[in-house]
Amino acid sequence: MARPLRHAKTWVSSEGVDLENGGRVEEVTVCYETWGELNSAGDNAVLICHALSGDSHVARHDADDDAGWWEILVGPGRAIDPERFFVICSNVLGGCRGTTGPNFIDPESGRRFGADFPVVTVGDMVEVQRRLLDHLDIECLSAVVGGSLGGLQALEWAIRAPHRVNAAVVIAAAPRLSSQGIAFDVVGRNAIRHDPSFASGQYYEAAGPEAGLALARMLAHVTYLSDESMRAKFDPTRLQPRSIETGFESTFSVGSYLAYQGDRFVERFDANSYITLSTAMDLFDLGETDGKVRASLASATCRWLFLSFSSDWLYPPSASKQLADALMARSCSVTRCVIESSAGHDSFLLEEGMRQGGRMVSSFLSRPDGRDQGARAAHEPRSNPATNIFHAQRLDYQLIFRLMPKGASVVDLGCGNGELLTILRDRGHRPLLGVEWDAEEVVACVENGLSVIHADLDQGLASIPDRSFDVALLSQTLQSIVDVGGILDEIVRIGRRGIVSFPNFAHAPMREMFAREGRLPKGEGPYEYEWHDTPNRRFPSILDFQDLCDHRQLRILEAIYVDSRTGEEVVQDPNLKADLAVFALAR
């Protein structure tokens, strides 16, 4: 049996709950735990929503307490710190850890609900949580946070009660589970129901469907892993299984591992609750098409942080992207990151997966107004201050400011760690969005209080609506782009004005070096790389860029050319004398 929850509290709602798929629960008991204190303003509450196999015990309450299921994210010094937040987590409706579910007594029959417990949806779970928050006198949540089934609850909260949610952190979730994912759940539920000990769901006075539940858990556990993690974990010891007592096959190491997971799960979970909660996950559906997902999210107004994991095939990064794209289409404040992890869907519960994720959650929740409150200013240089056009006070920034309307909204394509966006924020520009491919730089942006999308510039801009920003900016990134013409078209589609800065590879020192030495010219800044390891894919000149704009029917509104060695603007023959160009464009 599962260990008792020493710090759990219960609250009983005498008001019945009419369920979305029909049926009614006349009285609901809610088991919940809290950490920290609600502040005088009542605005520091964070609701944690648990996954299918979780419960209210997110983290330890003291040194003598059992470990919680999300210690990597919740606790003193963690991303969700009870010293800063009033943290609440309740066992969901239909669960088996203290909240009304199939193992409760049906007041009409006088016996446990069992398989007669009505179908529960994620919406029903959120409705019960809403009543709990009313009981706790919490009018608005600083954030609702959850992974997997918990992520679905976070989505539902933002849709159902937008006035009560300031921010949503949605981890390893999707608009709906794929048919492949549902198929695994269907087989698992069938394994439970066809266990001879299931007894039509009324097994509470006997052993119960232990084999069926263990098999369901084993099957589900396969979906939580990845091929990469399974190969690393089991291939070296393929025929060296753990020595465990089990009735399941354990010839292979992966078999003994799954048997262990299944047997342990039976000790703490109820089979009817497993059926109830897995069905709720499968029923959650915001739509198949982008249009339907946008419609489902139409009421949501909060800030969003979406985290997904590279090896998660159950709720893949593409599903998280679909959610983020739907909200971006409505100009919502969205940050999205794909975290590199080999641990599959389970990444959100593991240190490997949440090392970067925890940093982002912490920073995201620390800035309820979206402003930078960090100790390090983003425009403190990360790059070598001895470089030329990439030094601490980058010369092109001042030129960009000259071409940018006062207070303009800006999307920075290839924003790096967000230093330029932070300067723009300090200058009064709103709203701001970054797009960046490097995940660590995405983390840095979030740590600096910025909204940022983790995406490849050559593929990830279609979700940004037409003319949704005053300025679309490409600063010192043109030379690394694959589809240069395509990115220029996107810049003038997204922004009313596009601003592009780039190094001029045709300026005099480069020409002279090539003519004199017969080798790829090298210099400072973007010219410092060897030919075989340069990140530069393109080597644009000012004349080449002007020709390309003409070919793609782009209007050059303004242009500034500078010799960055002297800091002087170049008027005569800039293609020869300037090493830096900044253009303002429009269609």
> What are the residue numbers of the active site?
148, 312, 345
454: which strand partners? Answer: 436
**SS3 sequence of 404-473:** CCCCCCEEEECCCCCHHHHHHHHCCCCCEEEEECCHHHHHHHHHCCCCEEECCCCCCCCCCCCCCEEEEE
Whose CA is closest to 32, among 112, 113, 138, 166? 138
Whose CA is closest to 79, among 419, 293, 348? 348
**Cα separation of 302 and 577, whole Å?**
49
Joined together, the tokens standing for residue 133 give 């928050």
Contact 532, 472 (CB under 8 A): no
Joined together, the tokens standing for residue 112 give 């446990």
Q: Are strands 432-436 and 555-563 parallel, antiparallel or unpaired?
A: unpaired
Residue type, 584: A
Residue 204 backbone class (left: φ over 0; alpha: ψ -120 to 50; beta: rest): alpha
Q: HSE, CB side, 13 Å, CA atoms: give it for residue 213.
A: 23
Joined together, the tokens standing for residue 390 give 């990439």
- Is the preceding omega at residue 431 within 30 degrees of 0, hence cis? yes
